[in-house]
């Protein structure tokens, strides 16, 4: 009788849980998520304009976090910006980049420069954008340059007025670019032919 009990398996015919092989097509914890660094390149570039440490004073002391401003664009007329805040720098940048990609919109650009002069305004910041002949390049500073490069503008002159705060300047530049109208759009709005406009 003792021999029979020794030969008997404690779990019947099935092996104990730890020895079971994983099911086909998935690991013991289910299907793995695709990692961010394995994503295919979609042609959208991003540039960080500002990264700063921000503090919130609470009852127990101070909460330190990081705030990032990122501009994203495909270099072919689409541009957007985003802000992100987190306890760690990489997470703040990732959030800002995600927001910038969601905010991307198409803007009207000419072959070498912008179609016409425009002034972008946001809060106390004003950015004046003026078309420039081929070979001029991008004459702009700091945050304005980042937006124009990622939008795909090749030749332009610009001037900032009022507040030089990077957040307001980026927003004013994007607003200005989004106010641009192509000659075709202007002709359509005025009910005229393109040749009459040009």
Provide the CATH number for the domain around residue 97. 3.30.230.10
The pLDDT of residue 183: 74
| Residue 175 domain flag | yes
Phi, psi of 69, deg, nearest 5: -120, 125
Closest CA to 171 of 139, 117, 162: 162
| Residue 17 domain flag | no
Q: pLDDT tens digits, residue range 135-157? A: 899 999 888 999 999 998 999 99
Angle at 90 between CA 87 and CA 91, to 5 degrees: 55
| Residue 29 domain flag | no
| Residue 78 domain flag | yes
| Residue 103 domain flag | yes
**Structural domain of 156:** 45-187
The pLDDT of residue 30: 55
Count of domains for the chain: 1
| Residue 177 domain flag | yes
| Residue 74 domain flag | yes
What secondary structure letter does DSSP report for 38?
G
Q: What is the rounded distance in angstroms from the CA atom of residue 126 to the CA atom of residue 194?
A: 31
Average confidence (pLDDT) over 127-133: 92
Q: Which comes out higher in pLDDT, residue 30 or 175?
A: 175
| Residue 38 domain flag | no
Q: Are 54 and 67 in contact (CB under 8 A)?
A: yes
The pLDDT of residue 184: 77
Q: Which comes out higher in pLDDT, residue 105 or 195?
A: 105
Mean pLDDT lowest for which of 67-76, 84-93, 107-116? 107-116
């Amino acid at each position: 009788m003792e021999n029979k009990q020794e030969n008997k398996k404690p779990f019947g015919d099935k092996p104990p849980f730890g020895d079971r092989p994983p099911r086909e097509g998935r690991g013991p914890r289910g299907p793995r998520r695709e990692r961010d660094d394995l994503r295919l390149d979609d042609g959208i570039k991003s540039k960080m304009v500002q990264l700063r440490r921000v503090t919130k004073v609470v009852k127990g002391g101070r909460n330190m976090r990081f705030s990032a401003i990122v501009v994203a664009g495909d270099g072919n007329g689409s541009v957007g910006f985003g802000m992100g805040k987190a306890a760690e720098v990489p997470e703040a940048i990732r959030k800002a980049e995600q927001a910038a990609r969601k905010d991307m919109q198409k803007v009207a650009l000419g072959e070498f420069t912008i179609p016409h002069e425009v002034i972008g305004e946001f809060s106390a910041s004003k950015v004046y954008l003026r078309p420039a002949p081929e070979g001029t390049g991008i004459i702009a500073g700091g945050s304005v340059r980042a937006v124009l490069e990622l939008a795909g503008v090749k030749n332009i002159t610009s001037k900032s007025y009022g507040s030089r705060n990077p957040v307001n300047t980026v927003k004013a530049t994007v607003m200005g670019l989004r106010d641009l109208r192509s000659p075709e759009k202007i002709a359509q709005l005025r009910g005229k032919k393109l040749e009459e406009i040009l």
